[in-house]
A and B are shown apart, each in its own frame.
Chain A
Amino acid sequence: MNNGKFEPRIIAFLCNWCTYTAADAAGVARMEQPANVDVIRVMCTGRIEPMFILKAFSEGADGVIVSGCHPPGDCHYNNGNFKTFRRMPLVEALLTQFGIDEGRFHWGWISGAEAPLWAQLARNFTEQVRALGPLAWKSQKASKED
């Protein structure tokens, strides 16, 4: 698959109503996007626990994306995105303390109508993580356990 070239693995947590819809639309419209990004759908970004993000990194992800509906008024659940807005800066600080480069974590907003933005984010973020190289948290963890 990779021909020796580093292929980053990225997990994206997307809310059902905005960014997941945008990602779906980007696929339907056949926009170019890398296969490195794997999407996990949640109903609302407010559902995303910091633990999921840490879990993704510990299972071998090189980058994580969290994306939902634009604040203030886009959220299907009135204000779930605000909870994300408050939670994610803390997650960011936590990841930095764990020694994970800021560039490996992206959180933001893409509405259901912004499919090209999603494709662009997927492309840019993959390249950004590729430049940072493998995180290798999982292999480090395994070698410590040995």
Chain B
Amino acid sequence: MMDAGRHPNITLLTYSEVTNISGYVGNFKVTIKKKPRYVREDLCVGCLQCIDKCVFKNAKFPDEFNMGLNLRKPVYLPFPQATPQVVLIDPEQCLFLKTGKCKQSCAEACDRKAIDFEQKEEILEFQVGAVIVATGFEPFDTKRLPYYGYGQYSNVYTALEVERLTSASGPTGGEVILRDGRHPKSVGIIHCVGSRDDKTNKYCSRVCCMYSLKLAHVVRDHTGAEVYNFYIDIRTAGKGYEEFYDKLLEEGVHFIRGRVADVNDWATTPEEEGKLVLRVEDTLIGVTRRIPVDMVILSTGIEPQRDADKVASMFGISRSPDGFFAEAHPKLRPVETNTDGVFLAGCTQGPRDVPDTVAHAGAAASMALALLDKGVVTISPIVAEVEEKYCSACKTCLSVCPYTAIIFDEAKNVARINDALCKGCGTCVAACPAGAITGKHFTDEQIIVQIEGLLREPEELAAKAVEGARP
């Protein structure tokens, strides 16, 4: 990330949003909304003195990066390795931005005068040749499955929360402490939450098995707790992955094959008192079991971003039935979209893990560079063409073209089609009352010959064949 931030050929726009895109391959015009962070990026060096001096003596707002497990101040650095190393101010929380009444001790503390409460939203425009869409994914919202008790029982966690708990730079410095202050003695990990499920998402999210195994290993390592994995199938395809699973089996992590029915705190025996009970059918021995644990981890699946529909229509990308962006061909063109010059990278196209994402992103970057480096663009031969002498200048075609690829030549009084913009849909061909437009490769003659050929009687075909064979 740091490398990308420092690279002379890369302009990094964080805290920004693409609001519009127009044009075509090699010649896109992108409009970007840069949100105000109330800190001058060119002046801030990330010394963090403003955070210390903020009038909020104690942090008060949930820290998004740590999944709300700790608190932050209105002026903050999103996370320790954030690129660029620049703080920002949350306008919804900052006293000055909200009420206008604050002694602005953060601005006083900044000796580089980087804090600028006057900063406004900026609209930037860029001319670009290719676009890579890498908008990522959204973790499954566990509240959609109320029977797992997330939000109801404080010791039910999502995997991302536990990931932060076990991180040395996380809110507890790597110590696994439950919300009630205890250390867990037993932990249950529920796989496939929001994946491989008719009620939520039918697809496999691919990464959950491996991160569940990793969390099982790390939690066991940090706390010495008994760890139970509740799985449908363990899918550890990948280099070194199956070996890791084998290692966990040897370490004594428990694996129970079955989908957990529910999580509750209704104890039926003394050892279940004060614990969360997972009810599950162990499908390998064919009995229903009750497993009491201190902590439940939900291995949440990967879902498309909530605004994927807006992004898809803005960039002209189609979507697969699961909602992820569709590639041009599942096997042969995995990083291209059906819109020339727009490429996909990472989970925006479908669930994948880090090595696969890096490979996918590398492929997208080289596809984009290869396109730009050539300097010329190869376009599809399927385009429409106006036969000028037949054009009656009615301008019907102008109104039906979805790409505004047709311009009207006032001087010659005819319509003209821009080959680079035309995608060859043929709508204008069908609409032209004068029959002056031909859709190359899908001409009226070609389609009519197809109709005639398909409907010819077998006897006619045989007669034709004999006729053709005569010298």
Taking Cβ atoms with an 8 Å cutoff, the residues of A that contact B are 1, 9, 11, 17, 38, 40, 42-44, 46-49, 51-52, 55-56, 59-61, 73-74, 76-80, 83, 87, 111-113, 138
Contact = CB atoms under 8 A, between A and B. Distances in A.
B425 interface: yes
A56 B425 CA distance: 21
Contact of B425 (A59, A60, A77, A87): A77
B455 A9 contact: yes
Contacts of A11: 451, 454-455
B454 A83 contact: no
30 contacts: A9-B455, A11-B451, A17-B318, A17-B338, A38-B454, A38-B455, A42-B426, A43-B424, A43-B439, A44-B427, A46-B425, A46-B426, A47-B425, A47-B426, A47-B429, A48-B430, A49-B429, A55-B448, A55-B451, A59-B452, A59-B455, A61-B455, A73-B309, A76-B425, A77-B423, A77-B427, A80-B427, A83-B427, A113-B320, A113-B321
Interface string B295-334: 0000000000000010011001010110000000000000
A56 B453 CA distance: 10
A9 B448 CA distance: 16
Pick the 6 closest A-B CB pairs, nearest first.
Answer: A47-B426, A46-B427, A44-B425, A77-B425, A113-B321, A78-B402
A40 B455 contact: no
B320 A56 contact: no
Contacts of A49: 429-430, 444
Nearest to B428: A46
Contacts of B424: 43
Interface string B248-260: 0000000000000
A17 B313 CA distance: 16
A48 B458 CA distance: 27
Contact of B430 (A47, A61, A73, A112): A47
Interface string B410-426: 00000000000001111
Contact of A46 (B400, B444, B447, B451): B400
A interface secondary structure, majority: loop
B9 interface: no
B363 interface: no
A61 B450 CA distance: 13
B377 interface: no
Nearest to A79: B402
B431 interface: yes
A140 B402 CA distance: 41
Contacts of B318: 17, 74, 76, 112
Given A49-B430, A52-B451, 14 more contacts: A11-B455, A40-B451, A42-B442, A42-B447, A43-B425, A44-B426, A44-B427, A49-B429, A49-B444, A52-B448, A55-B448, A59-B455, A83-B430, A111-B321
Contact of B402 (A47, A51, A80): A80
A79 to B, nearest CB: 5
Contacts of B134: none
A40 B450 contact: yes
Contacts of B321: 111, 113
A59 B457 CA distance: 10
Contact of B451 (A59, A76, A83, A112): A59
B382 interface: yes
